[in-house]
Amino acid sequence: MANDGKKSEEIVRVILKGFQEKHEAYFTRLYDSTTAKGGYVPPQAGDFLGIFQGDAYVIEVKSSEKHNSLVGVPKSYIRASQIVGARLWIRGGGRGLFIFHGLGENVFEVWDSTDVINRVLHAVKLTPARRLVLAKGKKDFETKLLRKLKWL
């Protein structure tokens, strides 16, 4: 079965749901045409929208069986609509995050959307030092993601 990203999106959904049960936060999944049960859904700004500590977030989740870091993924892996959505969200005062799940080694990364936008549009190289979170496994990812959300 080909990787369609749904497994990684579900991991993030469960983590964000648990987070909002413990904190004054709200996150919701935005559905795309593959999950809209046959209905057409136009391109969305990301996979999740959320509010926490007065900040609005758009979160895009990506995964790969071949790559274990977004650093090595071709720029074409990120659709133009995802870049446009993140740019508009940030321009409106929100925060954007790209979450990458390397399925081969079960590694999770969190990147600021601005870094990903600059990579795609301006060929600025992603460097591991700019990564917000690097975690091995679901539990480690959950701990580090939630800690990072509290301090962004």
pLDDT in tens, 10-49: 999 999 999 999 999 999 999 876 666 666 778 888 999 9
pLDDT tens by residue, 105-130: 999 999 999 999 999 999 999 999 99
Q: How far is CA 68 from CA 2, 10, 30, 128, 132, in A?
A: 16, 18, 25, 12, 15
Residue 59 confidence (pLDDT) above 90: yes
Give me the pLDDT at residue 95, please: 96
Beta strands in the chain (DSSP E): 25-29, 48-52, 55-64, 95-102, 107-112, 133-136
- Which of 109, 108, 110, 80 is CA-nearest to residue 95? 110
Query: Band of the pLDDT at 2, cuts 50, 70, 90?
Result: low
pTM listed for this prediction = 0.92
Between β-strands 133-136 and 48-52, what pairing exists: parallel, antiparallel or unpaired? unpaired
